[in-house]
């Protein structure tokens, strides 16, 4: 078991928490994390570039000039790729599929490896609970600023060492309220513990988990 400190909503230390080594004690393997992240981004990629071929461009219903006697090369339609505004040959098509297969076991393993690495780097903070009176951006911004000043900077990190700190908050209670209060803060995001994913975890500098969220993570990702 791994023992860590956990805090209350005011940023005050209130006790220690035991963590499972199956989640936070794994060895980091960069190749696996890179493979899973590449697959995740490929599956989210949408093919936008699209050119029209000669069957899709407008015009060209009539033969541009007669077959013989003009001295010019014979042509059947101005939709031909050799004409201006004609169809494009071998251009990009939006039907292209970039998706890659990745199994669930690899996804879970990569996520847990990143959580372990972030814990070693002191980039995961633990809360006993979090409750807000109203789903307001102001209240959530005050919470993040309070944690930044009282917990992160007080742990020995200097303010200049962390440029534009970002946060991922995960809690199993008050999900709708926390989501509404966080969604207008550019540097923060809220996710339910069962919805954690590799891309969001890597995108944020600090992760803040409640005690209840830790138990949900263990039930969801440890098989």
Task: Give the 3-state secondary structure percentages of the chain, helix then strand then coil, rounded to 5.
Answer: 40, 15, 50
Q: What distance in Å separates the CA atoms of residue 32 and residue 175, rounded to the nearest whole number?
A: 31
Q: What is the pLDDT of residues 107-146, one digit of tens each?
A: 999 999 999 999 999 899 999 988 888 889 999 998 888 8
Q: What is the pLDDT along the chain (223 residues), one digit of tens a residue?
A: 889 998 988 888 889 999 999 999 999 999 999 999 999 999 999 889 999 999 999 988 889 999 999 999 999 999 999 999 999 999 999 888 889 999 999 999 999 999 999 999 989 999 998 888 888 999 999 888 888 887 877 666 655 566 778 999 999 888 889 999 999 999 999 999 999 999 999 999 999 999 999 999 999 998 7
189 and 113 within one domain: yes
Confirm whether 89 is domain-assigned: yes
Report the pLDDT value the prediction gives residue 132, as an integer from 0 to 100: 86
41 by DSSP, 3-state: which? helix
Instruction: Please state the domain count of the chain.
Output: 2
The two three-digit tokens of residue 204, written as one number: 């944020």
The DSSP output letter for 28 is: P
Give the burial class of 24: count Cβ atoms within 10 A of its Cβ; 0-12 exposed, 13-18 middle, 19 or more buried.
buried
Do residues 82 and 148 share a domain? no
CB atoms within 10 A of CB 15: 11
For every residue of 117-161, DSSP letters joined together read HHHHTT-EEEES----SS--HHHHHHHHHHHIIIIIGGGT--GGG
| 108 and 155 belong to one structural domain | yes
Q: Are residues 14 and 78 in the same domain?
A: no
Beta carbons within 10 angstroms of residue 217's beta carbon: 23
- Judgement on whether residues 90 and 107 belong to the same structural domain of the protein: no
Spatial separation of the C-alpha atoms in residues 195 and 79, rounded to whole Å: 50
The pTM of this model reads: 0.82
- 66 within some domain: yes
Whether residues 122 and 143 share a domain: the answer is yes
179 and 208 both lie in a single domain: yes
In a domain, 183, yes or no: yes
Q: Is residue 147 part of a domain?
A: yes
Shared domain for 73 and 41, answered yes or no, is no
- DSSP of 163-176: SS--EEEE-SSSHH
The answer to whether residues 155 and 66 belong to one domain is no
201 lies in a domain?
yes
- Element at 113 (helix H, strand E): helix 104-120
In a domain, 52, yes or no: no
Q: Which domain holds residue 77?
A: 57-97
Q: In sequence order, what are the beta bridge partners of 167?
A: 188, 206
User: Do 163 and 64 belong to one domain?
Assistant: no
- For helices 211-221 and 104-120, angle between their N-to-C axes, nearest 10 degrees: 150
Whether residue 51 is contained in a domain is answered as: no
CATH classification at residue 34: 3.40.1370.10
Residues 210, 171 share a domain: yes
User: Does residue 76 form part of some domain?
Assistant: yes
Are residues 19 and 77 located together in one domain of the fold?
no
């Amino acid at each position: 078991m791994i023992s860590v400190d956990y805090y209350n909503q005011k940023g005050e230390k209130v006790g220690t928490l035991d963590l499972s080594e199956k989640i936070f004690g794994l060895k980091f393997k960069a190749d696996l994390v890179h493979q899973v992240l590449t697959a995740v981004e490929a599956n989210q990629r949408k093919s936008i570039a699209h050119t029209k071929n000669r069957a899709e461009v407008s015009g060209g219903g009539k033969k541009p000039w007669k077959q013989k006697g003009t001295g010019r090369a014979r042509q059947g339609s101005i939709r031909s790729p050799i004409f201006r505004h004609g169809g494009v040959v071998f251009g990009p098509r939006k039907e292209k599929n970039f998706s890659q297969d990745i199994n669930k076991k690899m996804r879970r393993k990569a996520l847990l490896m990143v959580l372990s690495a972030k814990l070693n780097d002191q980039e995961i903070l633990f809360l006993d609970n979090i409750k807000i009176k109203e789903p307001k951006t102001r209240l959530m911004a005050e919470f993040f600023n309070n944690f930044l000043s009282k917990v992160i900077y007080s742990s020995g990190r200097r303010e200049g060492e962390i440029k534009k700190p970002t946060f991922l908050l995960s809690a199993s209670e008050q999900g709708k309220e926390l989501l509404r209060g966080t969604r207008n803060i550019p540097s923060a995001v809220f996710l339910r513990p069962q919805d954690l994913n590799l891309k969001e975890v890597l995108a944020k500098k600090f992760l803040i988990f409640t005690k209840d969220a830790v138990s949900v993570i263990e039930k969801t990702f440890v098989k």
